[in-house]
Amino acid sequence: MDSINSLQPELYINRELSLLQFNRRVLEQAKDPQTPLLERLKFLCISSTNLDEFFEIRVAGLKQKIASGSVQAGPDNFSPTEVMSQISEQAHRLVEEQYRVLNEDLIPALEKKNIRFVRRTQWSNKAEAWLQDFFSQELLPVLSPLGLDPAHPFPRILNKSLNFVVSLEGKDAFGRSSGTAIVQAPRSLPRLIRLPEDCAKGPYDFVFLSSIIHAHVSDLFPGMAVTGCYQFRVTRNSELFVDEEEIDDLLHAVEGELLSRRYGDCVRLEVADNCSQEMEDFLLSKFRLGQDDLYQDNGPVNLNRLLAIYDLVEMPDLKYPPFTPRRPQGIASEQNMFEAIRAGDILLHHPFDSFLPVIDLLKQAAVDPRVLAIKQTLYRTGPDSALVTALVDAARSGKEVTVVIELRARFDEEANIQLANRLQEAGAHVVYGVVGYKTHAKMLLITRRESKKLRHYVHLGTGNYHARTARLYTDYGLLTCSPAMGADVHRVFQLLTSLGKVKALSKILQAPFTLHKKMLEKIEREAANARAGKAARIIIKCNALLEAESIRALYAASQAGVKIDLIVRGICCLRPGIPGVSDHIQVRSIVGRFLEHTRAFYFHNEGDYELYLSSADWMGRNFFQRVEVAFPIEDKKIRQRILKDGLELYLSDNREAWVLQKDGEYKRCSPVGKQRVRSAQRSLLAKT
């Protein structure tokens, strides 16, 4: 390990630039002609949503560091200013490509399917008349144009909202002639308006809300001449700041911070690409941004709103074929879940396996008179969650229900506050974890009296208790009544809800206490075996690999001769393929129909291999600033299934896989010669 500490910064990829690389891979899905057309549009929108969050969180954080004079660099040795410079260059190229894909690839392809975005120059007389009525009846009553003068200062612009800056000539009724006005489009208004059949050329003719406002903006300023109207959008810092050492009530503190998120410091300005230089400079000055923060969009300034098309257009042939998740073998419909779990551990591989067994287990526990207590962690659950309803029912029936809710689940804080209030009103005990540590572990513990003893039933997962994302994300869940696992989960809940020292766990590895240390020990064990001439292998599947000490350990294992395969969906700061350092390491990313979200850690261990599933990525925050768990898979059949379907199948993928090169770029895999096309996700879908 000592030799690794002196490695040059060039061996580490910058995390922000790696994240931008991931967004490029998502955008590539929008360009893939083998992907159904409306799914391609969805991937374009996802790449835009991802970029929004990148600016709201990552860029905002860098700007704060620069403003404070920070020069602290990560393992790559880039200062915040250097990173910002590269981000600006790469993000501008990415945005340019997004709009090229929209205008040159997707819009023409959609038109061939009679899905049209009708521009103002293409409006028929009938359409123009209908849109005039629409503006007068639906838009005009809710729009509030703001002329700028000393009595009407520049308004506060909501984060990511659609706005227009308007240049005017002439004087108003009071003799004022400021020359500039702002029009804010209410968020309640749809951004795409579907034309009625009697004034459309096809069943799916849409008009952008921005086009309607542009066409009739002069109606907002009677007696004045509109000389320019340009849409714009500003992105703000959306990271919540809660000083946990200075607060008495975390819920109230988070509630207060949610209001400020809408008006945080500005980090990016998007304008229509026809915006005048004068107006660009005016807006940049108002938002205190520089030229590098300006993005000129050749189309609507919020691509995310195009996602509405997906649900508005009823053309199944332009979408992925629907599928029905299978019920796991051994669990019949309406079966007693306690009996099923007692018969043996059950693995759920979502979305290929149904999430219903988890819901059924909690529903049955809520009404089972022998169930005494239920404990669960909740990070993201979604609105109207059946799991939450079951917890409410259990609490109302007199069972001891304890729920650990992570209020600071990014962008789900408001929903989690409502969830906490609902559970407390039902009589459940609600806690918010441990001050200073996010509770990211996914655990459910049900305590049931059977004969004269108590038995623990456990669900542990790699993903959230969210029925919708269980159909969109790949995740693992384990159902077990192993006494050792039950005892460990019980101890973790005690740690979360009470005060006291950490009790030793027999099976589960827990962050921030043992997970990082044990992962390093297992990597070093493989390295020692390789040095001794024994077979050695490591396979890690996670969403992100950033933590420097883990990367150094993997480099050392590679130098020892360990074959290492990393399946990292998003950020990877390890640089593979460097002679003498990482030439035994391959890194691949899978970007397909489903968001890869499973975390699985495999260590060969001289043939008696170990396999852990986890809620944790390999990031500093997951190892040291969150409550996470990694749990071993001990059932041999389940272990073999995960190795075959969850790891080896992904390592053979040549359809949705991208391989990281040593220069930090990703190269898409493709079949070589007569090699058949292999897609891990499609193969798993074929089994449902």
Q: Which residues pair with 89 in a beta bridge?
A: none
Asked if residue 162 lies in contact with residue 185, where contact means CB atoms within 8 angstroms, the answer is yes
Q: Could you give the CA distance from residue 539 to residue 647 in angstroms, rounded to a whole number?
A: 8
Reduced to 3 states (helix: H, G, I; strand: E, B; else coil), residue 507 is: coil
Q: Could you give the CA distance from residue 460 to residue 442 in angstroms, rounded to a whole number?
A: 6
3-state SS of 357-409 is HHHHHHHHHHHCCCEEEEEEEECCCCCCCHHHHHHHHHHHCCCEEEEEECCCC
Q: Could you give the CA distance from residue 653 to residue 649 in angstroms, rounded to a whole number?
A: 6
Among this protein's residues, is 152 annotated catalytic?
A: no
Q: Could you give the CA distance from residue 288 to residue 2 in angstroms, rounded to a whole number?
A: 46
Q: Which two tokens stand for residue 186?
A: 């209410």
First to last CA, the chain: 45
Q: Could you give the CA distance from residue 687 to residue 359 in angstroms, rounded to a whole number?
A: 23
Place of tokens 């003068």: 149
Asked if residue 612 lies in contact with residue 623, where contact means CB atoms within 8 angstroms, the answer is no
Asked if residue 499 lies in contact with residue 519, where contact means CB atoms within 8 angstroms, the answer is no
Asked if residue 536 lies in contact with residue 526, where contact means CB atoms within 8 angstroms, the answer is yes
Reduced to 3 states (helix: H, G, I; strand: E, B; else coil), residue 137 is: helix
Q: In the 8-state DSSP scheme, what is residue 59?
A: I
Asked if residue 131 lies in contact with residue 124, where contact means CB atoms within 8 angstroms, the answer is no
Judging by beta carbons within 10 Å of its beta carbon (0-12, 13-18, 19+), is residue 273 exposed, middle or buried? middle
Q: Could you give the CA distance from residue 314 to residue 187 in angstroms, rounded to a whole number?
A: 25
Judging by beta carbons within 10 Å of its beta carbon (0-12, 13-18, 19+), is residue 285 exposed, middle or buried? exposed
Q: Which two tokens stand for residue 500?
A: 């006291």
Place of tokens 């023409």: 108
Bond prior to 351 in cis (omega within 30° of 0):
yes
Q: Which two tokens stand for residue 279?
A: 């107006």
What is the Cα 56 distance to its own chain's centre? Answer: 13
Q: Which listed residue (214, 350, 440, 459) is catalytic?
A: 440
Q: Which residues pair with 192 in a beta bridge?
A: 208
Q: With CA atoms as reference, report the closest residue to 15 among 46, 59, 52.
A: 59
Bond prior to 196 in cis (omega within 30° of 0):
no
Q: Which two tokens stand for residue 662?
A: 């040593």
Who contacts 535 (Cβ-Cβ below 8 Å, separation ≥6)? Answer: 529, 604, 606, 607
Reduced to 3 states (helix: H, G, I; strand: E, B; else coil), residue 338 is: helix
Beta-strand relationship, 429-431 and 400-405: parallel
Q: Looking at 365-523, which runs of residues are DSSP E strands?
A: 371-378, 400-405, 429-431, 438-439, 442-450, 453-461, 473-480, 509-511
Residues recognised as catalytic: 440
